[in-house]
Amino acid sequence: MCIQEFIQSYREAFGDKAPLPIVFGYSNTPAEEPKNVPHCTIGAISKVREGSPLTLTAENVKCGGGGLYTGFHDMPERVPNFVSTVEHYKKTPEMVVEYVESLDIKKAEKPYLNFIRIDQVENLDGMEGVLFWATPDILSGLTAWAYYDNNALDTVFTPFGSGCSSIVSNAVKENREGGRRCFIGMLDPSARPLVPMYELTFVIPTCRFLEMLSTMRDSALFQKAFSIVRKRING
């Protein structure tokens, strides 16, 4: 299934009101001239759904966590203490360090991390993941699709973490390992105000997305139960 065929199937399954997904990956070529981004990258990533690509670099990612989770910077010394004693997301700074180490984040080998709406790319070469902005109704369809050919309990995995870790770090690691897990994210209270109230993210590593394309039209997305949900998604 090519990109245009996927978009057609996606529109049939979810309707016109569901935002098209965003693809992201590292490159030696920027998708746009790198610009200054807000302190948190999530707001800038969210805007890509409107059609303008985003290019992140080591220079324009100002957030310490954002630089870490995109692979552009090492973890700043202040982060473990900040996440624990200021944000209270982990009981101790040591737990923060342990959690970050478990993500096994590799330093970016290319200078640009591009985010592009899927209708603006010709193929998925070099892409690490596919990012969907999803309401609960859209999540139900994406999750049903992901489980259609996979019985693993962690087929859809929801690890708590920063917005950028839930979008980038998990998918990059999974993609490079040829894994099959998809990730629900954007449960980070610090980043929630930058996205619509009723949306979470659903990220499919590219390796798994290419596999799932072959099951899309056979899955529950094109059956009666989800057709009723589709109508509600589209009002």
Give the residue numbers spanning the domain of 188.
3-233
What's the total number of domains in the chain?
A: 1
Alpha-carbon 35 to chain mean position: 21
**What per-residue confidence (pLDDT) applies to 7?**
96
Determine the angle formed by the axes of helices 136-147 and 3-14, rounding to 10 degrees. Answer: 120
The structure's pTM equals 0.94
Percent of the chain with pLDDT over 90: 91
pLDDT, one tens digit per residue, over 149-159 is 999 999 999 99
Q: Does residue 1 have a pLDDT over 80?
A: no
Rounded mean pLDDT of the chain? Answer: 94
**What per-residue confidence (pLDDT) applies to 235?**
87
> Rounded CA gap, 151 and 230, in Å?
25
End-to-end, the C-alpha distance of the chain in Å comes to 29
Q: What is the mean pLDDT of residues 173-201?
A: 95
H or E element, residue 157 = strand 156-157
Q: To 10 degrees, the CA torsion angle through 193, 198, 203, 208? A: 180
What is residue 75's DSSP assignment? P
Using only C-alpha atoms, the chain has a radius of gyration, in whole angstroms, of 17
> Rounded CA gap, 100 and 102, in Å?
5
**What per-residue confidence (pLDDT) applies to 39?**
77
Q: Does residue 71 have a pLDDT over 80?
A: yes
- What are the beta bridge partners of residue 27? 112
Give the least confident one: 28-42, 100-114, 167-181: 28-42
